[in-house]
Structure 1
């Protein structure tokens, strides 16, 4: 078994070469687990052409904990938060979609706010 190079104190593995027993957050979530407060076990590097490598953190699967169940209160809070993201701050109506942060308002309100010309 070969050892991986390290950055600081964490071992670094190349894309698709991480050993069994380690997983990213997304991989843990797909099998119904979460990191559960454990420290990062290693890093995974995926090469990219222009901006340098993409880094993902790996966690030990055996130390992961099950995902917490969705309670009625958490479900209601999530529904309120998602509804607030659909309310236009200009016209105060439900847009039916999440308001883009780049616009800051629903599309009809954003289109109607034409910048004024200086005299």
Structure 2
């Protein structure tokens, strides 16, 4: 199955393509770059990984998954968070905890499926302590 996605010169897929876990050294995904404190920094995609996934094998969905690879030597360091970004992040996280119905801090992130805290969503249910 690995031969299906083996295209190191890019003649079949347009860019160099490798099967899952067979990428050459010097290339990394965004997530791998981030764990090392790097970011792509505006560079183009250098290659891609393709693999078949059983999880996504459903009607109307392609079972082929893709991960783009970037060159590590061209990656730049991650920009540090500024005080304004930290404040904006704290404000956003706080707003996720405040119930729009009762306007109290729930102590947890409000589930988007409910749109309100559990106490407001299920007022008749008493908590067993």
TM over 0.5: yes
1:12-52 C-alpha deviation (Å, 9 max, x unpaired):
21110001111011100011001111111111123212521
Structure 1 counterpart of 2:44? 39
1:110 aligns with 2:110: no
Structure 1 counterpart of 2:107? 96
For 1:6-85, list aligned pairs within 5 A: 6-7=12-13, 9-49=14-54, 50-51=56-57, 52-85=63-96
Per-residue deviation, 1:3 = 4.6
Say whether the 8 Å CA contact 2:98–2:105 is kept in structure 1. Answer: yes
Structure 1 counterpart of 2:3? none
Q: Which moved more, 1:88-97 or 1:49-58?
A: 49-58
Runs of 5+ in structure 1 lacking a partner? Answer: 114-119
Normalised by the size of structure 1, how large is the TM-score?
Answer: 0.83
Query: Hey, what's the Cα distance between the residues in 2 that align with 1:21 and 1:42?
Result: 11
Per-residue deviation, 1:78 = 0.8
Runs of 5+ in structure 2 lacking a partner? Answer: 1-5, 58-62, 125-129
